[in-house]
Chains A and B, each alone.
Chain A
């Protein structure tokens, strides 16, 4: 039932538990056939990075991811959708972002999770600053054109309903 699901969106400094977030969607129901999760982690760039500092726009970060999530719920027949984005200092190996999409069949879940991540990367108000392993402060991470292109491809793609 597209549109029936209210997405969960959280912006938080603390880590999240992927299994717990899946369980919140699937617990007590027997109609979900597919759960796709995407976790984005902080890399150390071959030892170069000590951490990433994630700055965000409080209020708008929730609102913008919420708008993207509502669009995903309208485009795919989902039974659950969760997006969590962390802010603050995040060390290599730690989680940054989580998307969980649940549906009757896998295709909708895969596509919705992919769509949410593509839009989140180019529209959610977060900015990464590097902290270098040698103790110095690195620079702000540059936005990638490939991320904008990844988001724009969904404008042509017709929504899949099966």
Chain B
């Protein structure tokens, strides 16, 4: 089952695309695992996810912590801290 990844703001700019569908390899169980795996996919990912602690994540449009399990997620969004208002 493929998972849709969506990127916003400078995460989107650095990765160079707004979204993509990926097949997650076995062993990727949590948000932290996902960030670590993505970071290894190339220079642009390394640049975007250089400091994984600052990256905010939403699963199916709800904020989650990095320790959250991602099994069953249809849509995972990665973005910087929010600056609306």
Task: Give A residues with C-beta under 8 Å from B.
Answer: 40, 54-57, 59-60, 63-64, 85, 96-97, 117, 120-129, 140-143, 147
Do A126 and B80 form a contact, CB below 8 Å, given A55-B8, A57-B58, A59-B61?
no
Tell whether, in the assembled complex, residue A97 and residue B84 are in contact, meaning their CB atoms are under 8 Å apart. yes
Report chain A residues within 8 Å CB of B85: 40, 85, 96-97, 117, 120-121, 124, 126, 147
Do A125 and B58 form a contact, CB below 8 Å, given A55-B9, A96-B85, A120-B85?
yes
The distance in angstroms between the C-alpha atoms of A57 and B8, with both chains bound, is 8
Q: Considering the complex of A and B, which 4 residue pairs feature the smallest CB-CB distances, nearest first?
A: A126-B84, A143-B81, A127-B9, A60-B61
Q: Kindly report which residue of chain A lies nearest to residue B63, judged by CB atoms.
A: A123
Given pairs A55-B9, A57-B8, A128-B83, 18 additional interface contacts (CB within 8 A): A57-B6, A57-B79, A60-B58, A60-B77, A64-B61, A121-B84, A121-B85, A124-B85, A125-B84, A126-B82, A126-B85, A127-B8, A127-B80, A129-B9, A140-B10, A143-B80, A143-B83, A147-B85
Task: Give B residues with C-beta under 8 Å from A.
Answer: 6, 8-10, 58, 61-63, 77, 79-85
Report chain A residues within 8 Å CB of B80: 127, 140, 143
Report chain B residues within 8 Å CB of A128: 83-84
Report chain A residues within 8 Å CB of B79: 57, 125, 127
A132 vs chain B, min Cβ distance (A):
17
Report chain B residues within 8 Å CB of A54: 84
Report chain B residues within 8 Å CB of A57: 6, 8, 58, 61, 77, 79
The distance in angstroms between the C-alpha atoms of A152 and B37, with both chains bound, is 31
Report chain A residues within 8 Å CB of B77: 57, 60, 125
Report chain B residues within 8 Å CB of A97: 84-85
Report chain A residues within 8 Å CB of B9: 55, 127, 129, 140
Q: Kindly report which residue of chain B lies nearest to residue A148, judged by CB atoms.
A: B81
The distance in angstroms between the C-alpha atoms of A40 and B83, with both chains bound, is 12
